[in-house]
Amino acid sequence: MKWIKITVETTCEAVDLLSAFLDEEGVLGVQIEDHVPLTDEELQEMFVDLLPDQGDPDDGSARISCFTEDAVQAEELTEKIKEELIRLSQFVSVGRGSVTTEVVEDEDWLHKWKAFFKAFRLYDNIIIKPTWEELPQDRKDDDIVIEIDPGISFGTGAHETTRLCIGQLKEYLTPDASVFDVGSGSGILSIISSLLGAGFVFGMDIDETAVRTSIENAELNHIESSRLTFACGNLLAPAASAETEKIKNEIIEKNKGKPYDIVVANILADVIIPLAEVISPYIKENGYFITSGIISRKEEEVKHALCTNGFRIVEIVHMNDWVSITAQAAEKKTCTDSM
């Protein structure tokens, strides 16, 4: 299959803003290239084999690319990106700001990355292992091993946002707890929740491809559908639609008619903020809402959204430029924030 690759020459400063813009335009994933050197901590945690040549020195430039099959969509998206670059240039440096397109074969980008995805360890006893890799030699008897094939869906467990969520799940998930994973992507958080002892996990994503990938990954890990299931749906769709009502009913029905002990959402801050307004019915009183995918500059906005929608913030964890906020469904609309 041939794909149209859209590439923007820009700056590291503008990459996150452009990524968020592309996400809002419905782009499922982006490829980012820069010259920022890895820290010692990152080198220790890397799950790829580093190439001998570390590349050019960091000059602040970056390249962000996305892919589409549709020529008309590519043309429209290219024009929207150019307009967005003009808008962003009023606030941040966008560098060259050039936008180019080229036709590529899917094997040029869809599969070759797998050569760099190796098994790696998280939080002492969790091993994330791609299906095409062997288990590491340091495996221990009490290790939790997650088999994963992300396909083109987000989620290998390596990104800071996913690591933050996993750490919070380890802290707040109790045996037999129920978990609702909003924006489940490749299903990795749902699978880890199940393997950590959750009694029932329901994962939901707006993308049908992600849902299919999640189901396949659950099967890879031999988790029965009675304990872990996935569905396609959008909690932020217009509230009056029949489809939205069907989704709402399904979420509760899946958990035997009860709200969930934990809702986890590893999404962008701009999605978590409106989600905070509608998620309460799905969390039991004193249950936990674990959020991540929050860039540090959006932390205060997310905290405000949670506080004004009946949540009490219980923990905030940072990892590099990313933030995870865990809140508790409080009985009254008050917010305790001593962080």
| CATH at residue 106 | 3.30.70.120
How many domains are there within the chain?
A: 2
Q: Helix, strand or coil for residue 144?
A: strand
Q: Do residue 11 and residue 159 come from a single domain?
A: no
Same domain, 160 and 281: yes
Q: Is 122 a member of any domain?
A: no
Final residue belonging to a domain, choices 86, 112, 138 = 112
Nearest to 272, CA basis, from 327, 230, 338, 336: 327
Q: Kindly state whether residues 62 and 166 are assigned to the same domain.
A: no
For residue 276, give the CATH number of its domain.
3.40.50.150
For residue 185, the enclosing domain spans: 155-329
Is the residue at 132 inside a domain?
no
Q: Are residues 84 and 207 in the same domain?
A: no
Does 291 share its domain with 190? yes
Same domain, 73 and 184: no
Instruction: Establish if 322 belongs to a structural domain.
Output: yes
Nearest to 204 by CA among 227, 183, 229: 183
Best CA proximity match to 276, nearest among 335, 210, 207: 335
pLDDT (tens, 9 = 90+) of the chain, 339 residues, equals: 678 889 999 998 888 888 888 877 877 667 788 766 655 554 444 433 333 344 556 678 898 988 888 888 889 999 999 999 998 988 888 899 999 998 876 655 555 555 555 666 776 777 777 766 666 666 677 777 777 765 544 444 456 788 889 889 999 999 999 999 998 887 889 999 998 899 999 999 988 888 888 898 888 888 898 999 999 988 887 765 677 778 888 899 999 999 999 999 998 888 899 999 999 999 999 999 999 989 888 999 999 999 999 999 999 999 888 899 999 997 544 444 444
Whether 317 is covered by a domain: the verdict is yes
Is 297 within the bounds of a domain? Answer: yes
* Statement to judge: residues 185 and 293 lie in one domain: yes
Q: Rounded to an integer, what is the distance from CA 335 to the centroid of its chain?
A: 26
Q: Based on the fold, state whether residues 80 and 196 are members of the same structural domain.
A: no
- Tell me, yes or no, whether 215 lies in a domain: yes
What's the confidence (pLDDT) of residue 113?
52
Answer yes or no: is 231 within a domain.
Answer: yes
Quickly tell me which residue has 């996305």 as its tokens.
66
Q: Are residues 183 and 314 in the same domain?
A: yes
Q: Which of 65, 70, 66 is nearest to 2 (CA)?
A: 70
232 and 207 Cβ atoms separated by less than 8 Å: yes
Angle at 126 between CA 122 and CA 128, to 5 degrees: 80
- Is 47 domain-assigned? no
Query: 92 and 237: one domain?
Result: no
Q: What does the pLDDT read at residue 312?
A: 95
Residues 173, 88 within the same domain: no
Q: Are residues 243 and 295 located together in one domain of the fold?
A: yes
